[in-house]
Every structure is written in structure tokens, then in C-alpha cells.
Amino acid sequence: MDHHTRYPYLAGLGANIRKARKDKQWSLVKLAALSNHEKANLSRLEAGRTNPSIMTLMTLSRALEVDIIVFF
């Protein structure tokens, strides 16, 4: 069983983060720089292949200047 099958909410979470980033017309590189996260980790997060901590979500919401609820 893959990650998407076991944890379908991660795909939705990642898609919402990607949408917030794309709404700002930012690249993964720019979000990585502004949030102090590695581009590869953000890519996995947006693809729904990793389960982020609440601190990661808070950091991303601050960098993107959106309320954290946007991710859910």
C-alpha cells in the first residue's frame, strides 16, 4: 500500500500548499529560500509523499502570507 492509499489527506494537503505557492507565482526555489526548507523536501510535501510537522506548516504559511487553514 503506497502513501497516497494509506494517507489520502496528504495529497490534498500538498495540493493546497502547491496552490498557495502557485497563486503567488512562486517557484519551489523561492518558497524554499523564504521558508528555510529544502526544495526537495517541499517537492515531496506538495506531492503528498511526506507528513509535515505543524511547525513546517506554520513556517510555510508565514512565508506564503496565508492562514494555515488554507492548507486544509
Residue 13 has pLDDT above 60, yes or no: yes
Per-residue pLDDT tens digits for 39-67: 999 999 999 999 999 999 999 999 999 99
* pLDDT tens per residue across span 31-40: 999 999 999 9
Half-sphere exposure of 17 (CA within 13 A, CB side): 31
Question: Residue 3: its pLDDT value, please?
Answer: 56
Sequence ranges of the domains in the chain: 3-71
Which CATH superfamily, name and number, covers 3-71? lambda repressor-like DNA-binding domains (1.10.260.40)
pLDDT at residue 1, as a whole number: 52
Write a three-state SS string for 7-63: CHHHHHHHHHHHHHHHHCCCCHHHHHHHHCCCHHHHHHHHCCCCCCCHHHHHHHHHH
Instruction: Note the residue count of the chain.
Output: 72
Q: Which residue has the cell 509523499?
A: 49
